[in-house]
Copies of this chain bind each other. A is one copy, B any other.
Amino acid sequence: MESVESKALPHVGKQLKEEVRVFAPATVANVICGYDILGFALDEPGDEVIMRRTKEAGVKIVNIQGDDGRLPWAAEKNTVSASVQNYLELIGRNDIGVEIELFKHMPIGSGLGSSAASTVAGLYAINQLLGQPISQRELLPLAMKGEELACGYPHADNVAPSLLGGFTLVRSYEPLDVIHLPVPANLYCSVIFPHVDVPTRAAREMIRKKVLLKDAVQQWGNIAGLVSGLFMEDYDLISRSMEDVLIEPTRAILIPEFYEMRKIAMSAGALSFGISGSGPSVFSFTTNRELAQEISHKISKHLNAHGIECNTYVSSINSDGPKEI
C-alpha cells in the first residue's frame, strides 16, 4: 500500500458534509471451494453507520442497535471506532472528531461477515465525510486491521468483497493482491442462518494443518473452474466447481441438519449449497430469485420442524460495495 500519511484533505472549494449514513453489505467468504481466497457481497443483509462531525477531536460510539448488547462501546475496542481511529492516524488528522451510531442488521457470529460489514461501513463513512482523501482500495488494509481486532486474524475474505463489491479474489497477503472478478447477471443467493453458535476461532482451529496433495489438486481444479465459470458466465460450470473436499467435511459437523439442508437445496434446483465463511450460515446459488426464495422457505421449514430457529435472506449479488443512503 502506498503511504498516504499527512494527506491534505481535498475539500478546498467544496462543502464537506457534517453527517453521512452508510450501508455496507454482508458477505460470504470461501464460496465453498475458495477457502481463504474468495468472497462475495450480498445486497442484503448489511450494516448501517451514521457518522457525525464533532467539535471535539476523537472518535466516539454514541449508539449501537441490534447487537443485543454484545458489542463494546469503548472506542479502541469496537472495530468500527478503532478502524476510524486508525484511518485518522493514517491520514495524519487526529485533530478531527466524529461520533458514530451503528445499526446491526444482521446477527453477530453468523458467518456472514458481520464485523467486516460494520468496519467497512465505518471506514467508508469517514472517508466520505472527509471528501475521500484516500481511495476505496486504500481502505482495505485498515479494514483488515479491524478484522484482526474482531477475530484475531487480519483476513481479507470478508472485508474485500464488502468494500469492493462483487466477487473478490485475495491472491496473496504478502504483498496484498486483491482481484475483482466479474458477477454473472443471473446469480441469486439464498442464505440461511440457523441459530446455533459456531465461534469463528473454534471453527478455524478444527481445520487440519496438513492436507493430502491429491485433495488439494481437486480443490484447486474446482477453484480454477469456479473462476472460469464467473468469467464465462457459465452457470453449469459454476455449479460443477462448487465442491469443497477439504474444509467442509470438518466444518459441516458443527452445523445441524447440514446434509439434509443440502439435499433440500440441490433437489429444488440450486446450483450449489455450502457453508458461508466458517458458518453456521449456509448459502445456495440459483439463477433466479423465485428459486432462491423457495429454497429459503423449504430449509427454514425443515429447520423449524427440528426445533431450530433461523433467519433467511434472499439476495442478488452486490456489485458496488458500501454506499451512502
Residue positions of A touching B, CB distance < 8 A: 34-38, 169-172, 177, 179, 181, 207-214, 216-225, 227-228, 231, 237, 240-241, 246
Instruction: With CB as the reference atom, state the residue of chain B lying closest to A218.
Output: B172
Contact B37 A213 (CB under 8 A): no
Question: Do A240 and B172 have beta carbons less than 8 Å apart?
Answer: yes
In chain B, what residue has the closest Cβ to A208?
B213
User: Beyond A172-B218, A177-B225, A177-B240: 20 further Cβ-contacts under 8 Å?
Assistant: A36-B221, A37-B217, A37-B221, A38-B224, A169-B221, A171-B225, A171-B237, A172-B225, A179-B224, A179-B237, A181-B228, A209-B212, A209-B213, A209-B214, A211-B213, A213-B246, A216-B220, A223-B224, A228-B231, A231-B231
Closest to A211 in B: B213
Contact B216 A219 (CB under 8 A): yes
Known: A209-B213, A213-B208, A213-B246. A179 touches B219 (CB 8 A): no
C-alpha spacing A60/B225, complex, angstroms: 40
Contact of A224 among B210, B227, B240 (CB under 8 A): B227
Question: Assuming A177-B225, A179-B237, A228-B179, is B171 touching A34 (CB within 8 A)?
Answer: no
Q: Which residue of B lies closest to A226 (CB)?
A: B224
Q: Are A221 and B181 in contact (CB under 8 A)?
A: no
Residue of A207, A216, A225, A240 ringed by the most chain B CB atoms within 10 A: A216
A214 contacts which chain B residues (CB < 8 A)? 209
The interface residues of chain B lying within 8 Å CB-to-CB of A177 are 225, 240
- Chain B residues near A231: list those with CB within 8 A: 227-228, 231
Q: 17 pairs across A/B with beta carbons < 8 Å?
A: A38-B224, A169-B221, A169-B225, A169-B228, A171-B221, A171-B224, A172-B221, A179-B225, A208-B213, A209-B214, A211-B211, A211-B212, A216-B216, A220-B220, A223-B224, A227-B227, A227-B231
A220 to B212, CA, bound (A): 14
Contact A223 B220 (CB under 8 A): yes
